Amino acid sequence: MAPKVLISDKLSPAAVQIFKDRGIDVDFQPDLGKDKEKLLAAIGDYDGLAIRSATKVTEKIIAAADNLKVIGRAGIGVDNVDIPHATARGIIVMNTPFGNAITTAEHAIAMMFSAARQIPAADASTQAGKWEKSRFMGKEITAKTLGLIGCGNIGSIVADRAIGLKMKVVAFDPFLTPERAVVLGVEKVELDELLRRADFLTLHTPLTDKTRNIIDAAAIEKMKPGAFIINCARGGLVDEAAVRAALDEGKLGGAAFDVFVQEPAKENTLFGAPNFVSTPHLGASTSEAQENVALQVAEQMCDFLLEGAVSNALNMPSISAEEAPKLTPFVQLAEQLGSFAGQLTESGIKKVRLEYAGAVADLNTKALTSAALTGVLTPLLQTVNMVSAPVVARERGIEVEEIRREKKGAYETYIRLTLVTEHQERSVAGTVFADGKPRIIQVKGINMEAELGAHMLYVTNEDKPGFIGHLGMELGSAGVNIATFNLGRIAAGQDAICLVEVDGKVPQEVMDRLAAVSHVKQVKSLSF
C-alpha cells in the first residue's frame, strides 16, 4: 500500500504534484493544521505530515500519530514541532534549511529600509492625501554599521547584501569562526561591542534559552541613541515591552518586526508605536522560496518513505539515496547484532562498543550505530527505532563507542558489537555476504557462520560426544522442526556455542528439558 501523507499547511501545490508523481497518497488540507481537534482526529491515518509554521505538532498530536514516520517542515524553524516527543516515538523531523534563506534575508533588508525611511507610514499618509513631505525625515544607510546577531545561513546573506550597500557589518555569533568571518567580510565582535557600535541591529538566530530576550531593556540601554532594531528571525528574541518603551522615549529611531512572541499577532504592545514597522511573518513568503521549500520537503519525504534516504533530519543522521541500498543489509546486520546481544543480556548495560572493519567502515556508521542501538534496546523497550535509540541510550547513561579499522582476519568487512554490562563483556560479530544476507560470524570469540531466522535457540555447552544427538532428539520429540543448525567451539572438548533456527517459538517446558540435556550450560530462545 502506498504511504499516506497529509499536508496541513499552505504549501505550494508543487509539493502535491511531487507526492503524486512519486506514487504517494497525498491529502492537501491547507487549513487543517490550524484546527487542533481535526488534526488530532486525522493524524492517525498518515505516514507523513508536511507543514509550515501554522501547524503545531504537539505532544498530544504525536501521541495520536500511530503511523507517523516523518514530519517535513517546508521551511527552517521547527519550534512548532515537539522534537523530543517525535524522537521518543521514532518519528523523523526534517526541514529545508536553505530554501527560503535568500528570501528571508531580502525581507530583513527590506525591513531595514522601511524603518530607515519610514516607508509604511509615509505610504499611508500619502494615500490618505496628506502629502506630509517634511514629516518623514529618514536615515541613510551607506557607511552605517549593521550589527548582526547570528551569522548562519540567513545572517551571512544579510551581511553580503549589507556590504553591497556599503555598510560596515559587525557580527556576534559564538559559533562563527574567525576564518569564516574573514571570508564573509564581517568583523566578529562580542555582544556588548555590537550593541555599542550598531546603527542598525538585525537578529538571525533560533529562539533558544540562550537567545530568548537577548535584546532586553538593558541591551537597548547600551545601544546608540536613534539606533534601529530589525527582527525577522523569531518572536521572543527581543523584549517587546522594552522596545515599545524605547520607541516611545525616542531612544530607538525605529524597529521593524516580522515575528512576534504571540502569533498570529492580532494585537501587540508594539502596534502603534512611533516608527514601528510590522509584517505578519512574511520572511519566507515569496513565490520562489515557497516553491523551493515545498519541492524540497516533498522530495525529502518521498525519498525517506520510499527509499529510506534521510536528509536534513534534525533527529537522525543523513542517509543519501545512493547510500541507502548499500547501507540496508548492514543496517539489518547491525540491528541483528544488537538484538542478539541485547536478548542475551540480563544486567544493566553500561557501554555499547561498535567496531567497523573493512568496507563497512566507509559507510554511514552513525546510521549503523543507531540501528545497532535499536537492536540492543528493543528487547527492553519495544518501541525504540533508529531515530529514538541514540537518545534513549543517552538518557539511560549507556556509553556508545565507535571504532573504525582496516580489515583484519578472514572477512573482507565485518561489524563487531560488544556489550559491556556490570558483570561482563559479550561480543558478537557479523558480516554481509555477496547474497546481501547478514551472517553471524563470531560469538564470544567463537567462530561460526549462522544466518538468523525469526526463531533461534542459543545454546552454550561443553563440546562432548552425544550432545547434538540428544538436543536434536529432545526437539524432535517435542515436534519442533530444526531449520538450520550451526556449531562453533573454542577447541575440541572445550566451550562450544550452538545456534539453531527452529520453525516456531519453543514452548517453555521444552526449553526446560533442553536446559537439562547433559553438557548444556545455557539455553535461550531468541527472536528476530
CA distances to 171, 250, 308 from 70, in Å: 35, 48, 11
Active site residue 288: no
Per DSSP, the residues of 84-134 read HHHHHTT-EEEE-SSTTHHHHHHHHHHHHHHHHTTHHHHHHHHHTT---TT
Q: Please say which residue, 13 or 493, places its beta carbon nearer to ligand 3PG.
A: 13
Active site residue 519: no
CA distances to 40, 170, 201, 237, 245 from 216, in Å: 37, 19, 13, 9, 11
Ranked by CB distance to ligand NAD, the top (closest) residue is: 152
Does residue number 52 form part of the binding site for ligand 3PG (CB under 6 A)?
yes
- The single residue listed with the C-alpha cell 543489509 is 329
What are the φ/ψ torsions at residue 248 (nearest 5 degrees)? -60, -40
Q: Which residues from 209-228 bind ligand NAD, rule CB under 6 A? A: 210-211
CB environment 201-212: b (16+ within 10 A), e (fewer): bbbbbebeeebe
Does residue number 76 form part of the binding site for ligand 3PG (CB under 6 A)?
yes
Q: Which stretch binds ligand NAD (CB under 6 A): 39-47, 171-179, 331-339, 391-399?
A: 171-179
Measured on CA atoms in the order 64, 67, 69, 70, is the torsion positive or negative? negative
Which entry of 234, 416, 439, 455 is annotated as an active-site residue? 234
Per-residue interface string for the shown chain with ligand NAD, residues 300-339, x marking contact by CB under 6 A: ----------------------------------------
Residue 310 binds which of ligand NAD, ligand 3PG, none (CB < 5-8 A, kind-dependent): none
Q: Which stretch binds ligand NAD (CB under 6 A): 65-73, 202-210, 360-368, 489-497?
A: 202-210
Question: CB of 231 within 8 A of CB of 203?
Answer: yes
Does residue number 278 form part of the binding site for ligand 3PG (CB under 6 A)?
no
**3-class secondary-structure state, position 344:** helix
- Nearest distance, CB of residue 57 and ligand NAD, angstroms: 15
- Nearest distance, CB of residue 285 and ligand 3PG, angstroms: 6
Per-residue interface string for the shown chain with ligand NAD, residues 245-284, x marking contact by CB under 6 A: -------------xx---------------------x-xx
Residue 151 binds which of ligand 3PG, ligand NAD, none (CB < 5-8 A, kind-dependent): ligand NAD
Helix axes 14-21, 287-302, angle to 10 degrees: 20
- The single residue listed with the C-alpha cell 534601529 is 228
Burial of 487 (0-12, 13-18, 19+ CB in 10 A): middle
Q: Please say which residue, 313 or 450, places its beta carbon nearer to ligand NAD.
A: 313
- Nearest distance, CB of residue 395 and ligand 3PG, angstroms: 28
Q: Which stretch binds ligand 3PG (CB under 6 A): 137-145, 148-156, 277-285, 310-318?
A: 277-285
Burial of 194 (0-12, 13-18, 19+ CB in 10 A): buried
Active site residue 263: yes
Does residue number 55 form part of the binding site for ligand 3PG (CB under 6 A)?
no
Q: Give the neighbor-by-neighbor strand order of the sheet with 168-172.
A: 187-188, 168-172, 145-149, 200-203, 227-231, 252-257, 276-278
Does residue number 53 form part of the binding site for ligand 3PG (CB under 6 A)?
yes
Amino acid at 526: L
Residue 258 binds which of ligand 3PG, ligand NAD, none (CB < 5-8 A, kind-dependent): ligand NAD
Among 48, 155, 254, 283, binds ligand 3PG (CB under 6 A): 283
Ranked by CB distance to ligand 3PG, the top (closest) residue is: 75
Element (H, E) at 511: helix 508-515
- Nearest distance, CB of residue 11 and ligand 3PG, angstroms: 9
Which entry of 197, 281, 416, 439 is annotated as an active-site residue? 281
Which entry of 193, 196, 212, 263 is annotated as an active-site residue? 263
Residue 28 binds which of ligand NAD, ligand 3PG, none (CB < 5-8 A, kind-dependent): none
Burial of 283 (0-12, 13-18, 19+ CB in 10 A): buried
Look up residue 319 and give its three cell numbers. 542517509
Look up residue 130 and give its three cell numbers. 496628506
Distance, in Å, from the CA atom of 354 to the CA atom of 341, rounded to the nearest integer, reads 12
Residue 52 binds which of ligand 3PG, ligand NAD, none (CB < 5-8 A, kind-dependent): ligand 3PG
Question: CB of 36 within 8 A of CB of 57?
Answer: no
Please list the helix, strand and coil fractions of the chain in percent, rounded to the nearest 5, in that order. Answer: 35, 25, 40
Does residue number 234 form part of the binding site for ligand NAD (CB under 6 A)?
yes
Q: Please say which residue, 149 or 181, places its beta carbon nearer to ligand NAD.
A: 149
Among 3, 48, 75, 236, binds ligand 3PG (CB under 6 A): 75
Does residue number 155 form part of the binding site for ligand NAD (CB under 6 A)?
yes
Amino acid at 439: R
Does residue number 204 form part of the binding site for ligand 3PG (CB under 6 A)?
no
Residues that bind ligand 3PG (CB under 6 A): 52-53, 75-77, 100, 281, 283-285
Residues that bind ligand NAD (CB under 6 A): 76-77, 97, 100-101, 104, 149-155, 172-175, 204-206, 210-211, 232-234, 258-259, 281, 283-284
**Catalytic machinery residues:** 234, 263, 281
